[in-house]
Structure 1
Amino acid sequence: MAAFTDIHCHGGGGHAFGDSVAGTRAAFAAHRAHGTSQVVASLVSMSLADLERAMDVIRAARTYEPGILGVHLEGPFLAPERKGAHDPAALAIPTQAVVADVLDIVGDDLRQITIAPELPGAMEAIRTFSRAGAVVAVGHTTADAATTTTAFEAGASLITHGLNAMAGMAAREIGPVGAAIADPFAHIELIADGIHVNPTLIRTVFAAAPGRVVLVTDAMAAAASTPGAYRLGSLDVEVKDDGRAVLAGTDTLAGSTLTMDRAVEVCVAAGVPRDQAEAAASTVPARLIRR
């Protein structure tokens, strides 16, 4: 079995990336025990001050853990209507000034950033982050297929957790995932936990975009841990006995409790050939994220 690369993971083993150096290392160790040798530490939307603190922690942890490749900023440039488990107070418009501040804080540690391309200034931000060497992903968005295609032309190359926090595919509007399927250079993240995406759709996306599906866990602290009360950024999360993580008091999914070895098995059970499922968890994301 190939060593896995997870480019969208918020934590595990009871810890979130960026909370503390010991916790960040423990989160990585929890996923490493399930076959993940490389991870991009994902951070939810937060203030610039909180981002600076989290980056200090992750940089310190990386001196011990070279398998932590850098960070994925899932926000703050997200559509409020599709914010999911992100604090609405932390969302921002990608003005040139805010983009410059983010780049100044994260620097060369930025491997990936999720942006809603319909926001004012988003297309220029996509060009800026792409020129800086980051993989730019379309996600948490109200964008249609045409806007997503324009984002790909500006430098985006990935869909964040495809079919979640965005429009689906319909007869006359194929949405962001449809636009990515039509673009031979675009990749599509899937959370294959049996909760976020129907197994038939998992198999269908693999068939429609061969070699361009990227399995991710989108795992929060409860992955490889126990059910109960957790935090995702500044928000309270309840993890059910079946592993479903939701914002406390709601049915809104708040990441997952998935590990990459299980994601592969869910895909295989859905009818995806094992070699394709394992590639989507290893060589495909490693190639995409490499600089």
Structure 2
Amino acid sequence: MALKDLIAQAVSKYGKTSNITLQPNESTGQLPLELFITDEHTTNYLTLQVAGDADRGGITGMAAGVGSLASLVLALMMMLKGRWDLVGLCFFLGAAMFFVPFFLETRKPLPLPILFNRRTREVYFDKAGELFHTPWDDIQAIACEFQMTGIYTGSINNASLEILVKRLGEPEYLAMVSLGSPMGKTLNMQKSFWEYIRSYMNNGPWFDKNGKHTDSDEFVRSQLSSNIRKSDFLAYWKKTITDKKLQSEGSNFLSASDAFMFIGHLIFYPTNAIQDFTYDYAKRKTRNLWPEIVTERLKSDGPTTRLIDLERERGLSV
């Protein structure tokens, strides 16, 4: 598909929009910026979260964080009253409130992320069990800005960032893949995120604020540090209060909002920690769903042949 056809497709989807085609070796003029959707940033590959199941583990967190803890407290009360016949029942209920929802929520795999492989310079995407791919050096991407107007929200700017991929073994079958949700983003934000990906693929795995290669992961860590999980908010508010205390030099530093947020996250810390644990477990299971042709190329000593090269060896037109 030619670039002009790609633009036409985007315009037909979003209407008359501001748009820009993006190239793997041409700068957009923006500085790299991570938009809170990076799942993993390693030396060999970068993965981006896709929409769906972002709250996986929430049911387990609520059931175990509230129900299981309540059952344990009840068990202690029964011990103090000498009702040992009910202690076992309390422990059983507490365990059931964790293991039953945990099993149900981790049984179904999470959607596979969009995967950028630095070793083979390819992009992989799974769609309902079908593998799509595109070589990085020939990637076709476009960013489009559009507005959505609501009765209560007014006019809100949004911007999409999409890449063109082809189904493995059937290169004539094309699909547009959105790199994250367009909601609340501007065209410049999406261009900056493209620079983040471009810096990783061309100059990475570690790069500085200008996208240039460096041996230090300091800038990347600073970008990913904003990707705070629910169980991390307690430490975040604790640090916020501590920093304010040091800056106040003995004066009143604790605001009502800071105290409220800290106490709230302290109370719900078990729930949030269990939710994050459940999500991480489901994510680890999901990694095994990539076909071997992908997983072997993620290893440091794996093959470096591109999937498009394998297709050409089979005589497929691309």
TM > 0.5 fold call: no
Higher RCO (CA-CA < 8 Å; seq separation 6+): 2
Bigger CA radius of gyration: 2
Normalised to the residue count of structure 2, the TM-score between the two structures is 0.22
Q: Decide which structure has greater helix share.
A: 2
